[in-house]
A and B are shown apart, each in its own frame.
Chain A
Amino acid sequence: MRLKVLYFASVRERLGCGEEPLELASNLPLRVADVQALLVQRGGAWADIFGGTRLMAAVNEVLVKPDHHLMDGDVLAFFPPVTGG
């Protein structure tokens, strides 16, 4: 499964990364939470951010919950709680 992963705001700044392609070997259905767990394994700031609870996720520009199932080609975005208005 191939995903495009985006990071915004303080998450992007702390990771030093705004966007990356992610190729996942698994043929099993993957959820957003599974990708989050993979990113925790990178350690350092990745573990801090993706191991925490105060993170929002969107798939193809729509907010989703951690149990949302991903499809090949999805654009997955991670960001801190929003602060507009």
Chain B
Amino acid sequence: MIRLSPGPFDPAEIERQLRSSHSAIGAVVSFVGQMRDFNDDRPVTSMYLEHYPGMTEKALAAIVAEAEARWPLLGVEVVHRVGDIALGDTIVLVAVASRHRREAFQACELIIDYLKTQAPFWKREQTPEGARWVESRSQDEQAAASWHEGCRTLDPTCSDHG
């Protein structure tokens, strides 16, 4: 399930539901991103998350479909906040269920790497000096690009893991 949440949500509750959704599930891997009180060495007091209604949901669905095409998954939950966000709030949950741990770990990592570079969200931070738009990071782009190279898969014959 993919959901954009205008208010706080409980990642533990969503993970609990995912775990009990299928009796064949043997592994659940979750990534939880939350709002911290600094960025680039400056204090941050709150945040606003802009998105592109319609496209954001489509982009997330395409990313989940990519993970489901690569690995045999038993369930995927992606929840992302939009709008005003307070310190300590959960911004994003990616939870992946599968029979065995490896595909859950890898699918979870691919989904968050792609989400950070392809899903239209923009963070605007409030700092003591005023508001500023967060800049994208080149290491996020590199992480996402490493999945295109096709070697970060379960294929044991691939020697070019990075």
Residues on A lying within 8 angstroms of B by beta carbon are 6, 8-10, 13, 54, 58, 61-63, 77, 79-85
Contact = CB atoms under 8 A, between A and B. Distances in A.
Contacts of A85: 33, 80, 91-92, 112, 115-116, 119, 121
A9 B133 CA distance: 8
A10 B122 CA distance: 9
Interface of B: 33, 49-52, 54-55, 58-59, 80, 91-92, 112, 115-124, 133-136, 141
B24 to A, nearest CB: 29
Contact of A8 (B115, B122, B134): B122
Nearest to B118: A63
B52 A80 contact: no
A83 B136 contact: yes
Contacts of B134: 83
Contact of A79 (B115, B122, B123, B141): B122
29 contacts: A6-B52, A8-B52, A9-B50, A9-B122, A9-B124, A10-B122, A10-B133, A58-B55, A63-B59, A77-B52, A79-B52, A79-B120, A80-B133, A81-B135, A81-B136, A82-B117, A82-B118, A82-B119, A82-B120, A82-B121, A82-B122, A83-B116, A83-B123, A83-B136, A84-B80, A84-B121, A84-B122, A85-B112, A85-B116
